[in-house]
A and B are shown apart, each in its own frame.
Chain A
Amino acid sequence: MSDKDIRIGVYICHCGENIAGAVNINEVAEFAKNLPDVAVVRDYLFMCSDPGQEIIKEDIRKGLVNRVVVAACTPRTHEPIFRRACEDAGLNKYYFEMANIRDQCSWAHWHEKEKATEKAKQLIAAAVAKARLLEPLEDRYVELNKNVMVVGGGIAGIFAALDLANAGFKVYMVEKNPSIGGNMAKLDKTFPTNDCSACILTPLMVEVANHPNVELITYAEVESVDGSVGNFKVKVRKKQTYVDWEKCTGCGACINACPPKARVPDEFNEGLSLRGAIYIQFPQAVPKKAVIDPDACIRCSGRWFGEEPRRTKDGKPILAPCEKACPTGACSRDEPRDPNGELIELNVGSIIVATGYKVMDKKQFKEFSDSPNVITALQMERLITATGPTEGKLIVPSDIPKYLEWKKKVEKGKEAELEARKPKVITFVSCVGSRDNRYHTYCSRVCCMYMLKQAMLLKEKYPELDIYMFFIDVRTPGKDFDEYYMRCRNLGIKIFKGKVGGVQKLPDERLLVKGYDADLGKPVELISDIVVLATAIEPNTDLKDLARKLGINVGAEGFLRERHTKLYPVDTMTEGIFIAGCAQGPKDIPDSVAQAKAAASSAASLLAPGKMKVEPLISEVNPEKCTGCGICVELCPYGAIEMVEYNGKRKSKINETLCKGCGVCAAACPSKAITLHGFTYEQVVAQIRTIAKKGVIEEV
């Protein structure tokens, strides 16, 4: 027996039926009573509830127990709750240990009740073995930097930034594209109210850009992230714009000057039209500044930035058309420009990741033919919106080049007849790449609704159109969503329950749609002018990379993973980093905004006090034992260890503000001079021995 006065209370939770349904609580309780130093064993329906916590507190207050072991769910979510309960009752909260007998026992071994009970005993014994060796620790405080970085300037990022900026926090908004706005800027109208996307979005874009507390860093990406909650050090690479943004007024003169040879598919119009090598992302861009795409630029003047210009016979420099057109000299090629752009260093206390999504490319689906008249739903948004390549005039996409020719003529004041074909039949196909084992098993959540929206907008504007829609089933769970569906049905849109197996291109550019009507149990074929594919919402290609830089996780589907689906939906496993919008998973604008506001308030409540308690679960060197070999110094991933003079000898010392408590040094020290508090050698070995001996605790 140790001579310390150790009185351990073991509290076993039933978790309703979740634990009690597989683990025989009475048997486990009887077992626990016989473990060394255990003074009290109690069980309760929900240990984490108020009355449950009260049971523990009562025992502490009465002096019955001075170490607490709770056998319940996972410490990942509940350890902080029980630690607080201990603290409230006057016990050092590090005199607490948990045994995970739900997530890692009853749930996993539900059909092996005896074995689950046996395992629960061993897990509790291991926790008790550790509890006997616990030491009281004092929380540390770290100063928090009150700046926040928001990555991604879509609707989610914009709202997160605005809420924080309004609350007085300095916000850096880092956006990959030249302009903020994200995917919402591409949309025509938005369900469920059908308000115009640009009308609600663009004022917010301007507001965030002009906010005194917001610094926009667009055309930029996160390069590296160091540090931790309260003190992140971020390096952001601002890409080379090749245009002096100080001088650029966004007049657009350069854009028209850029020759046809230098044109490439316009990302903003989802490839439905072309843009020049010098371009402004879209007319409502914020900031409205031009950039040069160096890969598309054909170097009209025969020189690149910083090179000597060629000269005419009379010695005048030959300028590129864009240079010549620019009234401010913003795209002058006289000065050299670093293709790597500029590295900006930011110090922030918290980070919100709102980098959104991309839609699957239709090229991935060979069965839908390569016809330009088979388009993604996002292309359809561009086709029907007034800011799109056809100014919202509905024509078949294969005739967009004709439209653009015609427009050019009209702009030059010539008379011309538009020969573009207007569609008579449009067919929508749902779940393309979603809910499909070959691609993504998940539901993209917004497709049913935006398909109904597009169908409704089209039908209201062009009542003579025939619209067919194929759904596996229509999913409209949301406020006012089913009403929206009914409204759509009443417009005379034909909805099939069934799948489309393929689309065949006909010689006249029309399309043969081969579908299946599950209600009739028969195949259906119809001829359509446009086929719209609701392609799946996917994580951005670089999301995994970004997550790695930030030290946060992605789930199996590739979206960012929240700390806990229900309780911590915008938190990540890395403290101080929050997530919002479609980067976390497919969702609509209302949900993206709600998450953004949640993330902003989480960041604000974290940073507002200016300092934060941190767990003292870090390492410490015992200078008496340290031989000064220096092995640990090299190993520490945070450079937290240095060699110092101690009683005239070289000894290692850990800087407690830098140490994160990984324990690498403790594991490596040949003299066992380093203790990782909370996971000491003795504590971990005691647990291991107890389990190895199937629940028998050795005397220490």
Chain B
Amino acid sequence: MIEGQEEGKMEEWEPNIIVIACNWCTYQAADLAGSLRYSYPPTVKIVRVPCSGRVEPEFIIEALINGADGVLIGGCHPGDCHYKNGNYKALKRFELLKSVIEEFGIEPERVRLEWISGSEGLKFAEVMKEFNDTIRKLGPNPLKWKEINSV
């Protein structure tokens, strides 16, 4: 039985979400959301990278293995990548990754790729709320609990 999914405990359990954000767009959007005081769940924590094309599949695996409940990669809109086309490369890799994740026994909805431009502060906040809700519904990352239970 997964502990966090017991009735009652669900209330206390908060998702742990990692956003790997491109410096030129999604990271900027998060800053903008803050300066406009759009709130979103504090479960969301950002790691900055120069481009979504920098994101290695291992980054996401590492996040999940170590306990993150959801991982979102944020990149520039198609055509807007600061480095021309890193986001297309991210998209390709992401699709591969999703299938790998499923093999690990993790719901593919736990990983997501979003295009959020630097001016989309509101979109950032909304996507984060929505992603948080999705993860909340899914409950804690099964991998984490498997690992803990096997100790």
Q: Give the interface of A toward B (CB within 8 A).
A: 74-76, 100, 102-105, 107-112, 115-116, 118-119, 122-123, 126, 548, 551, 553-556, 561, 573-574, 617, 635, 637-638, 660-664, 666-668, 676, 678-679, 681, 684-685, 687-689, 691-694
Q: Does B45 contact A (CB under 8 A)?
A: yes
Q: Give the interface of B toward A (CB within 8 A).
A: 16, 18, 20, 23-24, 27-28, 30-31, 33-35, 37-40, 42, 45-51, 53-56, 58-59, 62-68, 79-80, 82-86, 89, 93, 117-120, 125
Measured in the bound complex, the distance between the Cα atoms of B55 and A679 in whole Å is: 10
Given contacts A679-B49, A688-B62, contact A104 B67 (CB under 8 A): no
Q: Using a Cβ cutoff of 8 Å, how many contacts connect chains A and B?
A: 151
Residues on A with beta carbons closer than 8 Å to the beta carbon of B82: 551, 573-574, 662
Find the A residue at minimum CB distance from B84: A637
Of residues A105, A115, A126, A689, which shows the largest number of chain B Cβ atoms within 10 Å of its Cβ? A689
Give the Cβ gap from A50 to chain B, nearest Cβ, in Å.
24
Question: CB distance A661 to B62 under 8 Å?
Answer: no
Measured in the bound complex, the distance between the Cα atoms of B43 and A118 in whole Å is: 9
Give the Cβ gap from B86 to chain A, nearest Cβ, in Å.
5
Residues on B with beta carbons closer than 8 Å to the beta carbon of A637: 83-86
Residues on A with beta carbons closer than 8 Å to the beta carbon of B80: 548, 553
Measured in the bound complex, the distance between the Cα atoms of B38 and A316 in whole Å is: 76
Question: CB distance B84 to A676 under 8 Å?
Answer: no
Find the B residue at minimum CB distance from A691: B45
Residues on B with beta carbons closer than 8 Å to the beta carbon of A123: 45
Give the Cβ gap from A452 to chain B, nearest Cβ, in Å.
32
Residues on B with beta carbons closer than 8 Å to the beta carbon of A687: 47
17 more A-B residue pairs beyond the given contacts A103-B31, A110-B37, A123-B45, with a C-beta to C-beta distance below 8 A:
A108-B34, A108-B42, A556-B120, A561-B118, A638-B83, A662-B51, A663-B49, A663-B50, A666-B56, A667-B93, A676-B50, A681-B56, A684-B47, A684-B49, A687-B47, A693-B66, A694-B16
Q: Which 9 A-B pairs have the closest CB atoms?
A: A663-B54, A692-B66, A662-B83, A107-B34, A103-B34, A664-B53, A115-B42, A637-B84, A103-B31
Residues on A with beta carbons closer than 8 Å to the beta carbon of B65: 692
Of residues B53, B63, B86, which shows the largest number of chain A Cβ atoms within 10 Å of its Cβ? B53
Residues on A with beta carbons closer than 8 Å to the beta carbon of B118: 553, 561, 573
Given contacts A637-B86, A679-B49, A692-B66, contact A662 B54 (CB under 8 A): yes
Measured in the bound complex, the distance between the Cα atoms of B45 and A108 in whole Å is: 11
Measured in the bound complex, the distance between the Cα atoms of B84 and A664 in whole Å is: 11
Question: CB distance B42 to A662 under 8 Å?
Answer: no
Give the Cβ gap from A31 to chain B, nearest Cβ, in Å.
15
Contact of A104 among B18, B31, B51 (CB under 8 A): B31
Question: CB distance A556 to B46 under 8 Å?
Answer: no
Contact of A76 among B28, B53, B55 (CB under 8 A): B28
Measured in the bound complex, the distance between the Cα atoms of B93 and A118 in whole Å is: 32
Give the Cβ gap from B128 to chain A, nearest Cβ, in Å.
9
Give the Cβ gap from B148 to chain A, nearest Cβ, in Å.
12
Question: CB distance B47 to A688 under 8 Å?
Answer: yes
Question: CB distance A100 to B46 under 8 Å?
Answer: yes
